[in-house]
Amino acid sequence: MRISEAEAKVMHVLWRRHPLGSDAVIESLLRTSDWQEPTIKTLLNRLLRKGAIRAEREGRRFLYAPVLRREDYLLHESQGLLDRLFDGRVAPLVAHFSERRKLTRKDLAELRKLIEGLDDAR
């Protein structure tokens, strides 16, 4: 399932907290974007049609909740990035960031720990 960048912003609201009425989703996104209410409602409807979210009626309103799991979305998007830019390989991605000095000492320590954990698991 392909989720646009704008739709992903709506999903992030619902991944953080759900179920939510459209009013709560709109309120959250109005604080962080320059979108208007009709735009946000359009994005909710697109996500419903794609099956990324579901809506359950509660009285006179609908409550929205994610169907698409955040982990599945991240896996798909990160694999797509690796495939498009680095032939599916992680090492060139890390090299790219290290060459641009975008890796902090903390990042490097976390990467070392991750690699050691992978070595221990084998």
Say what the pLDDT of residue 20 is.
98
**Domain of residue 103, residue span:** 89-122
- Distance between CA 48 and CA 62 in Å, rounded? 12
CB 25 within 8 A of CB 64: yes
Please list the helix, strand and coil fractions of the chain in percent, rounded to the nearest 5, in that order: 65, 10, 20
Identify whether 81 is part of a domain: no
Supply the angle between the helices 70-86 and 90-99 in degrees, to the nearest 10: 80
Identify whether 14 is part of a domain: yes
Question: Domain of 48: which CATH number?
Answer: 1.10.10.10
pLDDT at 122 over 70: no
1-49: pLDDT as tens digits: 899 999 999 999 999 999 999 999 999 999 999 999 999 999 999 999 9
Domain boundary among 51, 66, 81: 66
Identify whether 95 is part of a domain: yes
